[in-house]
Amino acid sequence: MAVFHTQDISGRHFLVTGGAGFIGSHIVEYLLANGAGKVRVLDNLATGSRNNVALFSGNPRYEFMEGDIRDAAVCAQACEGIDHVSHQAALGSVPRSVKDPITSNEVNVSGFVNMITAAKDARVKTFVYASSSSVYGDEPNLPKREERTGNLLSPYAVTKMANELYASVFGRLYGMKVVGLRYFNVFGPRQDPEGPYAAVIPLFVSGILSETPVYINGDGGQTRDFTFVENAVQANIRGMLTDNEAAYGQVYNVAVGANFSVNFLYDAICKLLSKTHPAVYREARSGDIRDSLADISKAKQLLGYEPTRQFMDGLKLTVDFFTGK
């Protein structure tokens, strides 16, 4: 993985909430590989996995704390002695939030307030948090620009917009250095292929390999700005360590700036696996947007963000991971 910072971080202490999850574990891996003084993970293992962080367990600079962000005391303890926070802990999935809005709100909103309050009280230097492209809702224009959002289409989107509003207020009211990252369909190694809310790429790979039915919602013509996880790691590192004061108090699109249809994605995976396995089409999901494409010029300008992995490059690395290559 490329290096996304120039500072010496050997004396700095980092907290990654949700660090046993997909994106979080890649942030932890980057920080430890690049000499961070301490990396603490807070995770309740509801959707994260010990397998994702097993490779760090022997590292003396790594610390695992099992706990829930819905507990304010746990959040306060996790922030003790911490310089920088990367807040990834959340209950993902639009369909899950449609089915159970209460739990999504408890984790993603109440948990967020607990975490950012604990960070404020601990006087952390920077607080970076995961938002989502779902906040664009039904705003029809492409590419998506940070200042234009529409009607929200799911409880999950509401929780992420609430995070942005709270972060903005905490930045202005308490002088916190906060950065929000609107992820666009992040994918890569360690993304969970199991469970009812598994992400599309590991689901496709798993189904094609096992020759079990693979479902595409709607006609498959919907497009997404599929973003390899290394790009999400870069945005977090730059957000936590930027020296640009103008970069704080902002939200940024984290994407590649190119979109592909779900049908194209499926065909590309089949080709990488050298398999022919027709997909099964079914009804479109409620709460889903039709097309997604990010304008990443703001992140480039203020954070120095520049995608290091394009879609097909990242897809091959991901398929190789799931096939054990």
Measured CA distances, 203 to 88, 137, 199, 210, 321 (Å): 22, 24, 6, 11, 14
Active-site hit among 30, 62, 129, 156: 156
Q: Rounded to the nearest 5°, which phi and psi values hold at 77?
A: -65, -40
Q: What is the dihedral of CA 159, 165, 171, 172, to 10 degrees?
A: -160
Give the E-state strand segments of the chain in sequence order. Answer: 13-17, 38-43, 62-66, 84-87, 126-132, 178-183, 186-187, 215-217, 223-224, 227-228, 250-254, 260-261, 280-282
State the Cα–Cα distance between residues 43 and 273, nearest whole angstrom: 33
Residues near 98 by beta carbon (within 8 Å), at least 6 away in sequence = 154, 155, 156, 286, 287
Structure tokens given for 286: 């409620």
Task: Decide if 156 is catalytic.
Answer: yes
Q: Which of 181, 193, 152 is nearest to 299 (CA)?
A: 181
Q: Which of 107, 109, 126 is nearest to 160 (CA)?
A: 109
Which amino acid is residue 98, in one-letter code? V
Q: Which residues pair with 261 in a beta bridge?
A: 223
243 three-class SS = coil
Catalytic machinery residues: 156
